[in-house]
Structure 1
Amino acid sequence: MAKGYRASKVNPQNTVRGNQADETIIDLSEVKTSAEHYYSAHKNTILGIAGGLILLVGGYFAYKFLYSEPRNKEALEQMYQAEFLFEKDSFEMALNNPGAGFPGFKEISENYSGTDAGNLAKYYAAICNLKLGNYQEAKDFISSYKASGNIMPIMKEGITGDIQAEMNDFEGARDSYKKPVK
């Protein structure tokens, strides 16, 4: 016997007694037959659900890649001139008419609603209106803006607070400024 070799012990509980193992074997032909009967009885329902799922998934991808993403890309291209003027503090032109055939943030937010770029145009339009003294319009734009990520919700609350302070709603402004801290 080799050094370190030890014979394994047989555990009597793990041994199969008689034909117990044979009793747990499932008759595959029985399962196949019952599955065929179930399918033939519910064929229309199964095919209808499968077809509906395929249409639903196909419709989602068609909407996303053939409609939504191209519109978002187009809106981003349209925002170029307005963003340029926004950076130059030309808020009136950025909001309404940046020139060169480009729409302003207000028009982009209306024409491309439902896109990320249209949503971002609402944010820019709120800031432009705030700087121009159009506080109610600024409030309308910022309230319809859907902020996402870590920074933009904080920025939205800050702008909301600025608008409320300009409208002499100091308690609302305080609440807006405190909201990101909570």
Structure 2
Amino acid sequence: MATYKKRGHKPKNKAEEARQWAEESTTAEVFNTLDTSASRTEQWVARNQNYILGIIGVVAVGVLAYLGYEKFIQEPKETTASNELFYPMEYFRQAQQQDAIADSLYTLALNGAEGKYGLLDIIGEYSGTKAANLANYAAGVSYLHLDQYDKAISYLEDFKSDGGTYEAVSQGAIGDAFMELGQTSDALNYYEKALKAEDNEFTTPVYLQKAGIAALELGQGAKALGYFERISEEFPQSAQANGVEGYIGRAQAAQ
């Protein structure tokens, strides 16, 4: 047992001697407890050393495997997918600028040509990459323009975004597909998601108008009025502001 003694002091009487003995005994017990605890810990570590080292080894292997995957597999895959995406995205860009031949260009973007991958190939071959994610967006918009609304919804729902313009446009495009399918309530829901995704002078008035029209069709005059009034008050210079007074009148009558 560990012992502890004060130096340079002698008790004056038996009472003080008893107190000193009690203090020394208590202090000794504290050290003894610490010694015992340390000893037990050491014994536990010794008994479970292989288990502890095993856990450390598994964690280390996991970290190294993740870093290796990112460095030697995921990064090259991302680079290759991004390079492959350039070709179909060029068709996609041209389709948005040339209405007369847009359908054929969207089809080329989806399926590829001249031995080059299309958007669908990239989604299938490079799943999990940023390029495949963007390909989901472009494929959804392409199918929307080709009047294949179920496919448009499917691919657009697979597109993941942290917000911003892409998120607003993708949610709004799903709304457009549902409107074409006659599912107005679903369309309104997605137009409202588009409005929440980003507030700017370009997409916001567009989806305010679409949401207002959908609300009118559903007989929700008060909600429609709110959307149309926002266009009039907040975006008076937008294209949607032209003729908005007529929509406001219809919404007021529908209340």
Could you list the runs of 5+ residues in structure 2 that have no partner in the other structure?
1-19, 96-104, 197-255
CA distance in structure 2 between the partners assigned to 1:81 and 1:181 by the alignment = 31
In 2, are the aligned partners of 1:119 and 1:145 still within 8 Å (CA)? yes
Distance (Å, rounded) in 1 between the aligned partners of 2:169 and 2:134? 12
Asked if 1:43 is matched to 2:49, the reply is: yes
Paired letter, 1:153: E
- 1:102-128 Cα deviation digits (max 9, x unpaired): 200011111111111111111111111
Contact residue 79 and residue 108 of structure 1 kept, 8 A:
yes
SS at match of 2:143: helix
The count of corresponding residues between Structure 1 and Structure 2 is 163
Query: Cα offset for 1:38?
Result: 2.4
Q: Which of 69, 73, 76 is 1:67 aligned to?
A: 73
Matched, 1:145 2:159: yes
Q: Normalised by the size of structure 2, how large is the TM-score?
A: 0.57
Q: Which has the higher helix share?
A: 2
Give % identity. 28
**Is there any run of 5+ residues in structure 1 with no aligned partner, and where?**
1-17
Instruction: Find 1:96's aligned residue among 105, 108, 111.
Output: 111
Q: TM-score, normalised by structure 1?
A: 0.77
1: CA distance, partners of 2:85 / 2:31 = 66
Larger RCO (CA within 8 A; separation ≥ 6):
1
Alignment match, 1:113: 127
Cα distance in structure 2, aligned partners of 1:156 and 1:172? 14
Q: 2: CA distance between counterparts of 1:112 and 1:96?
A: 15
How far did residue 41 of structure 1 move?
1.2
Counterparts of 2:69 and 2:152 in 1: how far apart (Å)? 31
1:127 to 134, 138, 141: 141
The match for 1:154 is 168
What is the identity, as a one-letter code, of the residue corresponding to 1:136?
D
In structure 2, the partner of 1:84 is: 90
- Say which of 173, 177, 185 aligns to 1:163: 177
- Bigger-Rg structure (1/2): 2
Q: Deviations over 1:53-90 (max 9, x none)?
A: 11111121122222122111111100111111111112
